[in-house]
């Protein structure tokens, strides 16, 4: 059963299924490093997925859909930044409201634009058709097809993990973002706006989550379906925590959760274990809970994450 072909397909599925989690997780990492708790990843992904599908369908161009998904994800995230940074609202409450609001907005717009809720018409051509094999590397047994014969957003995810790691730890702006989440008063003292850094952190997370949503609707699928994020935004938060609020750690954790999802799919297809289908479906979420429960005590979040800067400054 565990043949070379099985392992190749399993690894390839792991990479594909972990991609939206990876994108949202590294975005959440930047956001929380700036001091803002962002549980709105689920809602932002839904917005990105919806607008990517709508623009790809109306224009017939999936690349325009991709840009639209990223753009609207970023724009929608600014609502969370405004609520938490400017209005000083509770971060968790703001994120929860944004999740509910996203489902309501997309349903309303779907009825307005398409004429019915549920699922949008299939786009003429999704990004999943654009598969790029890297010469030589794609011929490596098992890992070659899984890692080096993939679709555009999968490759973009790899690049973003490396880029955001460099950005966060090797640039002055990245240092300022981390300072906003660790010692905001010290950052303000040297003349750097904590508000701007936190807005930037939330906006970057919105762009990444919008990209994750676009992947779901125009690369992994060819249409938008209500609720298609299926809790991936929350799994991304678990990956961020399990990864110790580090982009690479979040990426590795996302791969682990993607592997759990891919494993249950393969087991269902091959009927390796005869169990109710519902048990297989819940398996990735169960793994997520166990992983977070085991690692959350070892992970140290940014010191000022979730803390209102004005309150903190007035107390000092």
Residue spans per domain, the chain: 4-128+136-311
pLDDT at position 8, please?
A: 82
pLDDT class of 313 with cuts at 50, 70, 90: very low
CB 74 within 8 A of CB 207: yes
Backbone angles phi, psi at 302, to 5 degrees: -55, 140
* Percent with pLDDT over 90 in the chain: 60
Phi-psi bin for 141: left (phi > 0), alpha (psi -120 to 50), beta?
beta
pLDDT in tens, 183-221: 999 999 999 999 999 999 999 999 999 999 999 999 888
pLDDT at position 1, please?
A: 56
CB 121 within 8 A of CB 225: no
pLDDT class of 272 with cuts at 50, 70, 90: low
> From CA 71, how far away is CA 213, in angstroms rounded?
11
Between 194-218 and 4-33, two packed helices, what is the crossing angle to 10 degrees? 150
pLDDT at position 39, please?
A: 93
Q: Which of 24-28, 59-63, 163-167, 275-279 is least confident?
A: 275-279
Phi-psi bin for 151: left (phi > 0), alpha (psi -120 to 50), beta?
beta
Is the predicted pLDDT of residue 65 greater than 50, yes or no?
yes
> From CA 272, how far away is CA 266, in angstroms rounded?
8
pLDDT in tens, 127-158: 888 888 888 888 888 788 888 888 889 999 99
* 3 state SS of 68: helix
Mean pLDDT of 229-258: 92
The beta-strand segments (E) located in 115-194 are 132-133, 149-150
Burial zone of 289 (CB within 10 Å; 0-12 exposed, 13-18 middle, 19+ buried)? exposed
The 3-class SS string of 61-119 reads: CHHHHHHHHHHHHHHHHHHHHHHHHHCCCCHHHHHHHHHHHHHHHHHHHHHHHCCCCCE
Half-sphere exposure of 301 (CA within 13 A, CB side): 18
* Higher pLDDT pick, 301 / 310: 301
Token code pair at residue 253: 């954790």
What is the dotted CATH code of the domain comprising 4-128+136-311? 1.10.3470
């Amino acid at each position: 059963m565990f043949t070379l072909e099985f392992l190749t397909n399993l690894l390839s599925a792991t990479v594909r299924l972990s991609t939206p989690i990876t994108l949202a997780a590294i975005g959440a990492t930047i956001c929380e490093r700036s001091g803002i708790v962002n549980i709105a990843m689920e809602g932002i992904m839904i917005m990105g997925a919806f607008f990517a599908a709508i623009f790809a369908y109306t224009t017939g161009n999936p690349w325009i859909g991709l840009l639209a998904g990223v753009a609207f994800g970023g724009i929608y995230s600014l609502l969370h930044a405004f609520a938490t940074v400017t209005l000083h609202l509770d971060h968790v409450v703001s994120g929860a409201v944004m999740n509910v609001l996203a489902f309501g907005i997309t349903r309303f717009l779907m009825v307005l634009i398409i004429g019915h809720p549920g699922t949008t018409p299939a786009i003429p051509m999704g990004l999943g058709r654009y598969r790029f094999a890297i010469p030589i590397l794609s011929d490596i047994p098992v890992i070659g097809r899984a890692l080096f014969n993939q679709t555009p957003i999968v490759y973009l995810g790899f690049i973003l993990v490396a880029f955001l790691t460099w950005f966060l730890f090797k640039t002055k702006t990245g240092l300022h973002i981390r300072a906003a989440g660790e010692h905001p008063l010290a950052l303000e003292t040297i003349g750097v706006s904590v508000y701007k850094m936190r807005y930037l952190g939330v906006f970057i997370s919105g762009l990444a989550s919008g990209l994750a949503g676009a992947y779901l609707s125009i690369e992994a699928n060819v249409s938008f379906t209500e609720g298609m994020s299926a809790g991936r935004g929350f799994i991304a938060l678990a990956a961020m925590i399990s990864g110790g609020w580090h982009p690479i750690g979040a990426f590795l954790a996302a791969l682990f959760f993607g592997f759990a999802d891919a494993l249950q799919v393969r087991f269902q297809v091959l009927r390796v274990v005869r169990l109710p289908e519902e048990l297989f479906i819940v398996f990735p979420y169960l793994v997520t809970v166990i992983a977070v429960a085991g690692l959350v005590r070892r992970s140290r979040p940014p010191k000022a994450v979730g803390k209102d800067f004005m309150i903190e400054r007035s107390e000092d």
